[in-house]
Each structure stands twice: as structure tokens, then as C-alpha cells.
Amino acid sequence: MSLNHIFSVAPMLDWTDRHERYFLRLLSEKAFLYTEMVTTGAILHANPARFLCYSEAEHPLALQLGGSDPDALAACARIGNQYGYDEINLNVGCPSERVKSGSFGACLMAEPKLVAECVQAMKSVVDIPVTVKHRIGIDYRDSWDELCEFIEIVSSAGCQLFIVHARKAWLQGLSPRQNREIPPLKYQTVYDLKKRYPQLAFVINGGINTIAEAKQHLAFVDGVMMGREAYHNPYVLADVDTQLYGQEKNIADREQVLMKLLPYIEDELMKGTKLHAITRHIMGLFLGVPGAKAWRRHLSEYGNKKGAGLEVVLEAARKLDLTPGK
């Protein structure tokens, strides 16, 4: 397992786009980043560059694919490899109706042999790791034996790293949001997987909100994946490199992070990117800092306006108390 998997940021649909990932990279050099899920159809039947382009600064970076056809996934994995991604990840965890209707995501946990075929097909055409992100079970198929069967069949196809959301998914009756909150977290189940299969790498996901919590999990598994907390409170990543990777460096304060982002925003605006496409991701940068509410309000109110430029960000920053170290 790459050392970079010690800490990663979860793939989140409509959230972890290239602007968000560039921003997060300013906070941590080491965190492993994931694209939002991209379906095989979007890559094969549309403009791949629209979904796959990224900044070289985003590495290490994985492409998460959504699909269930081995041939289509292999074709997309090959394209992802050509684009220079560091890993291909298969989504076997998303419980949304849209994903379920496409016969992929969490419902694939009921078909471990098909998942294995998908993994094998992708591995046959790329020279980078192929990993799987999944739940601990679905509906009433959530026994320990069924989970172990899934791991054994998929690992036999060559998957050596499993990212496990430590909740089951209810495919009937719960919304995606409810599936992130209602099924109880069962961290011990993931710990037990590592005990049973020490030769495999396991990254734990679900409800992890602090670096202190990450450290606790790392006593039992190979890595941790943080989701929504990293999005809403991104400055939590400022401690990742020093606390989890032992890197000796001065942690950039929030203002320094913003200053580093400004040239990127300016460059993207010149390319035709709308300001809000970037600023929507940095609302939480100053969480807990005096003036943070005014910062968010200004970006929300003026970032969407036609012709909005860098001055909107600078004016929003003036509403903050940027005492050094905050």
C-alpha cells in the first residue's frame, strides 16, 4: 500500500471536482485525493477531458469510476491511466437511486463475482492499482460471512486495497443522506477485516471528523478516509502532513492558503471558469474565525453575479479578522 493512503479525502459527487481538489492540495501535500465518481458512460460517450482533466498539483490522485460492465470499465481505466491518474477506484458503495438504477454502486455488493470480473478487467489494461470502495453490507445481506466472501472473491481478482465505509446501506427506504447517518457505524467490523486479512490493506471511512480520531483508527487499519468534514471544515487538513506523515514543516495559516489560491482563481477566470465554481468550495476555510459568516455571505451573494472576479474574494477577505495564526 502506498504510504499516501494513510489519509485520504473521500470521493463526493458534485463536491470533489478539480477546483476543490486543487484547493485541498494547498492544505496538505500528502493526502490522497479522489475524483467525484465518473460513470463509464460519461467517459465513453461524452468528452472525456470534461471529466478527467486536472492540475498536476493534485497528485496523488485517484479516478473513481461508476459502472458494472467489465469491458466498459476496462476502457475507462485505460483512459484514466493515459491521463496520468495514480489509481483507479471502483464505486461499490453509493446507495442512491440514480446509481442503483444503473446497476452499480452499493447494489454490486450482492454480486462479488461481477465486481471481481470488473477488477480483473481493469487490472489487465493498466499498470496502476485498482481499488474498491464499498459498504459493510446492504439491506439484509450484511452478515460477517457475506462480507468476508466479498473480500475474498474480489481480492482474488487482484484488488489489494479496500476502502470500507463502516455502515451498511439500505437500498430500499432510505435516501443517500439517510444512508450516511441512520445505519450505525461499525468500526470494529473494519478492524476485524484487517485482522482476518492482514495481507490486504484496509482504509476506514465514515464519521471521521478530526485528526485525533484518524490516529485512533490507524492503530487498527492501514488508512483513514475523511468525507464531509474535509469539505465543510477544510482547514482540518492543515495538520495532516505533520500529524499523520511526520513531515516537519510550518503549517500554513488560513490567510496564506487563500493567498496561494488567488493565482489559480485568476488563471481559471481567464479560461472562462465562473467564480462561483471555485468559491463554493472555500466557504468553510475560515470556519470559527471572527467574520467567517460575513465572508460566506459575501461570496454567496456576489460570487454568482455575471462578471464576478477576484475582487469579490478580496472584498470577502476584508470582512475577516485575519490575525496571524487564525
- The residues annotated as belonging to the active site are 94
In whole angstroms, give the CA distance from residue 72 to residue 60. 24
How does DSSP assign 177-193, residue by residue? HHHTTSSPP-HHHHHHH
Residue 91: enclosing H or E segment and its boundaries?
Answer: strand 87-92
203 DSSP β-pair partners: 163, 223
**Do 10 and 205 form a contact (C-beta atoms < 8 A)?**
yes
Residue 89: enclosing H or E segment and its boundaries?
Answer: strand 87-92
Q: What is the DSSP letter of 169?
A: B
In whole angstroms, give the CA distance from residue 188 to residue 14. 30
**Do 234 and 285 form a contact (C-beta atoms < 8 A)?**
yes
Angle between helices 112-123 and 144-156 (to 10 degrees): 20
All three cell numbers of 226: 475523511
In whole angstroms, give the CA distance from residue 265 to residue 263. 5
**Do 74 and 130 form a contact (C-beta atoms < 8 A)?**
no
| C-beta pairs of 206-212 under 8 Å, 24+ apart in sequence | 206/165, 206/166, 206/167, 207/166, 209/236, 210/236, 211/236, 211/239, 211/240, 211/243, 211/244
Q: CA 297 → CA 139, 178, 289, distances in Å?
A: 41, 28, 14
